[in-house]
Structure 1
């Protein structure tokens, strides 16, 4: 079935939904992804395509949720009584009604933000288990349970939970990489597209705020630096719905955004002993807010002591690095947004974009077919002293390595010399290296004569910002 034009990219996710729909069996699917990642958008559009039922739960009582879903079911099956407010007395009755009306044919029911439903109706997961085990095994029922509360969705699969071992598929809706994010801003040159990605982040719900009629500074001023801007406080409240102890988690995020990426640095900045932060750090990692990074050479990553923590979403990193200082100083609303761009954000762009550009380059290496080999692992490396690091490391099964240096500006002979030295150090730490490929990534597409000669000789690859946009 054709994917609607308003669903940008998401080809793999749409194909997976099509495959689930076409299977001659019932399915119980878990769909997981951060808020504003586009999860609800694609599920609601797919439900419309197959004439199914889509319901997004809210923080209401069980009776209110059951009443709201009863009306939606009534509208789908043109049942006048349900549409006029005669509600199902129980979830069992609702599921039985839908099953009966589907008549054994494939039928899609999407319960979005399912953790809200489960919180309001604690017995609901057991009711779904019973329906799955006894009523749906010989039907074409396709039930998708979706949620942004990733920890709660993961909990559904624990061995002590009613739905353990019953899901037939899991749809993970990931944020956009740079190449897909660029589709939201075709009016910009690649340099501005990268900066927009670094400020607005990788969530479709944020990228869709970019106004094609405005320049990048105008968009940033309106959405990020104005008191009425849509994103001026989103990062400040992104966790409020998921935990009552959010202030500790926000402090951790702010510490990381401020440059404290090690365990000791974070604990010192937050003012808590290490043990008190272990669970919040793990929770933020599970919620896909931060990433725990170790050198690619580590044999046992979970036990490694060489750990750095990074914020995954560029928007969240930018907000906690820059916008929060303007909020705390009372500058938002006092100083014109355009002036804040000119005097605060603009001069700091090179520092903001350095780590963003590095991650964009690593993502390019993961997905491109233009490099010497397809990797089995992609990451980065730093030595035990943290004095030497490599931005991009790609490993192949036969012992080949691609080692890359990322520069937001131009690349020079000095960068190439440093890369060669560090590539040798990295290869020495790895056993079985058979060949090393060197790569320089430049955000400006500029390189000096010596680098150009090395590229012409085939001893180094030069990858520009335009290359990173290839899909």
Structure 2
């Protein structure tokens, strides 16, 4: 299958679909494709159907009977039989889809499958029965049935535990957001510092540039403020209300106000369960369920503390939601008034840097350490990269570690490959390096990790002074990382 020239990246996803769809083995097979909204799943699957001569059906929120009627009409238009299709039930409809692959491997896509399953909860069981081993309709077909959905909580359960379709799928593909490097290329941003600022606002969701911003990208670093005002903070653009709609589109989020408040607590710097509970003036047990639901929906991510057990912290997974809660939601009434964007944005500079850009920069530094850093620089391949708090028992204080890379243990303590500090708006100096050396010593005393070869990483969005640069040149365990290096330009 030839990938469309207009499709940006998605080489891995296209290759996986190609292998699944063109597999010549007899028997119908099942694949599951999921991913958050606006990532291009529909474009990807529709293109695959066109390339392989398959059938695509996009479900909508409708009754069971209407969905069957729509599927029959779509299949009639696709095959043009002597008489139109009229399905009495889903068992009959699924068998008709399996019949599409009678002669050759044929992709059949049911997009937004959660809508159909919501109207008819028995549908997964019906598909399970249709794909039963030795059933004639299955063995005589080479249909490659692909179920796709954006409701991450639902799609995460479809193949889990005792779910009817568990063990039936030959493909489980998650379409992720573009990582920060691909996002810079997609938004056509050559300046790494500007690319990081844009990524902190809109993340790596492809639709935000093509459809929501209508191709509007910052012309340069000096245009960033104006770009924010004319896109994200502009009530006339879809980006303005997108963060709210992302919550409303998740079927498991019923009490929207509570979930909004949980996200607001995290955006305000309350990253622990106790911190969130205090912000909301509730008990920690009262917010356990909302946290779990937001995690399942892919909107909240839990990070383990690499230095203290059972002390996880939480971060908002979607940058646009974090930007909304930190910058937009507190002054929503102001923003809804025409012409207020510039005034609001000028007053939000400090909050944007401290609550949005700073935390995002730290996460990009962790992503670089895990996915892009040369293992030779770190002294090994990281098995885990995270952050945490290191306690000094004598001084009775804690030191936050923004980046920590743990290697693979070989018959002993896991090696701590590197620890690092990330500062977006500060020029780093020797004080930051001395702090890292102290923290490395404290970790070594604790005995959990082998720190004999731990590298010290200084990440800065604003540069390093001459004394720190000199120290890095003479010391073999110090690495300075700036935005060009994060983006592979150094």
Q: TM-score, normalised by structure 2?
A: 0.88
Q: Is 1:402 equivalent to 2:418 in the alignment?
A: yes
The one-character-per-residue Cα deviations of 1:77-132 (angstroms, maximum 9, x if unpaired) are 233643xxx53333233333333343241011111111111111233212211111
Q: Is 1:236 equivalent to 2:249 in the alignment?
A: no
User: How far apart are residue 376 of structure 1 and its match?
Assistant: 1.0
User: How far apart are residue 16 of structure 1 and its match?
Assistant: 1.1
User: How far apart are residue 355 of structure 1 and its match?
Assistant: 0.5
Q: Which runs of 5+ in 2 are unaligned?
A: 410-414
Q: Secondary structure at the match of 1:389?
A: strand
User: How far apart are residue 48 of structure 1 and its match?
Assistant: 1.9
Moved more, 159-168 or 459-468: 159-168
The one-character-per-residue Cα deviations of 1:419-457 (angstroms, maximum 9, x if unpaired) are 22112223333243441111111223x211122112322
Moved more, 379-388 or 281-290: 379-388
Distance between the aligned counterparts of 1:390 and 1:279, measured in 2? Answer: 29
Q: Secondary structure at the match of 2:334?
A: coil
Distance between the aligned counterparts of 2:143 and 2:397, measured in 1? Answer: 54
Structure 2 contact 178–204 (Cα < 8 Å) conserved: yes
Are residues 213 and 250 of structure 1, via their aligned partners in 2, closer, same or farther at CA, if it must alter by over 3 Å?
closer
Distance between the aligned counterparts of 1:4 and 1:468, measured in 2? Answer: 30
Bigger relative contact order (CA 8 A; separation at least 6): 1
Counterpart in 1 of 2:300? 290
Alignment map for 1:66-465 (pairs within 5 Å): 66-79=68-81, 81-82=83-84, 86-133=85-132, 134=135, 135-187=137-189, 189-208=191-210, 209=213, 210-212=215-217, 215-241=223-249, 242=251, 243-298=253-308, 304=310, 306-327=311-332, 329-341=333-345, 343-351=346-354, 352-370=356-374, 371-372=377-378, 373-384=380-391, 387-398=398-409, 399-409=415-425, 410-429=427-446, 430-444=448-462, 446-457=463-474, 458-465=476-483
Q: TM-score, normalised by structure 1?
A: 0.91
User: How far apart are residue 386 of structure 1 and its match?
Assistant: 7.0
The one-character-per-residue Cα deviations of 1:161-219 (angstroms, maximum 9, x if unpaired) are 32222122210122222101112222452211111111112322224335147543333
Distance between the aligned counterparts of 1:442 and 1:359, measured in 2? Answer: 13
Counterpart in 1 of 2:412? none
Are residues 389 and 65 of structure 1, via their aligned partners in 2, closer, same or farther at CA, if it must alter by over 3 Å?
same
User: How far apart are residue 459 of structure 1 and its match?
Assistant: 3.2
Are residues 169 and 448 of structure 1, via their aligned partners in 2, closer, same or farther at CA, if it must alter by over 3 Å?
same
Q: Which runs of 5+ in 1 are unaligned?
A: none
Matched pairs, number: 460
Distance between the aligned counterparts of 1:45 and 1:251, measured in 2? Answer: 39
Are residues 218 and 75 of structure 1, via their aligned partners in 2, closer, same or farther at CA, if it must alter by over 3 Å?
farther
Structure 2 contact 202–320 (Cα < 8 Å) conserved: yes
Distance between the aligned counterparts of 1:176 and 1:386, measured in 2? Answer: 38
Moved more, 204-213 or 433-442: 204-213
Q: Secondary structure at the match of 1:168?
A: strand
Structure 1 contact 110–145 (Cα < 8 Å) conserved: yes
The one-character-per-residue Cα deviations of 1:261-310 (angstroms, maximum 9, x if unpaired) are 22122112223322221111111111111112221235xx6xx1x22221
Q: Secondary structure at the match of 2:231?
A: helix
Structure 1 contact 225–332 (Cα < 8 Å) conserved: no
Distance between the aligned counterparts of 2:390 and 2:450, measured in 1? Answer: 18
User: How far apart are residue 387 of structure 1 and its match?
Assistant: 2.8
Structure 1 contact 190–465 (Cα < 8 Å) conserved: yes
Structure 1 contact 28–169 (Cα < 8 Å) conserved: yes
Distance between the aligned counterparts of 1:428 and 1:148, measured in 2? Answer: 47
Distance between the aligned counterparts of 1:136 and 1:220, measured in 2? Answer: 53
Q: Is 1:2 equivalent to 2:2 in the alignment?
A: yes
Q: Secondary structure at the match of 2:109?
A: strand
User: How far apart are residue 257 of structure 1 and its match?
Assistant: 0.8
Are residues 386 and 138 of structure 1, via their aligned partners in 2, closer, same or farther at CA, if it must alter by over 3 Å?
farther
The one-character-per-residue Cα deviations of 1:203-259 (angstroms, maximum 9, x if unpaired) are 222243351475433332122212222121221232223132222111101111112
Distance between the aligned counterparts of 1:386 and 1:359, measured in 2? Answer: 24
Q: Secondary structure at the match of 1:470?
A: coil
Distance between the aligned counterparts of 2:445 and 2:359, measured in 1? Answer: 26
User: How far apart are residue 369 of structure 1 and its match?
Assistant: 4.6
Are residues 293 and 273 of structure 1, via their aligned partners in 2, closer, same or farther at CA, if it must alter by over 3 Å?
same
Moved more, 87-96 or 227-236: 87-96
Moved more, 427-436 or 187-196: 427-436
Pairwise CA RMSD of aligned residues?
2.2
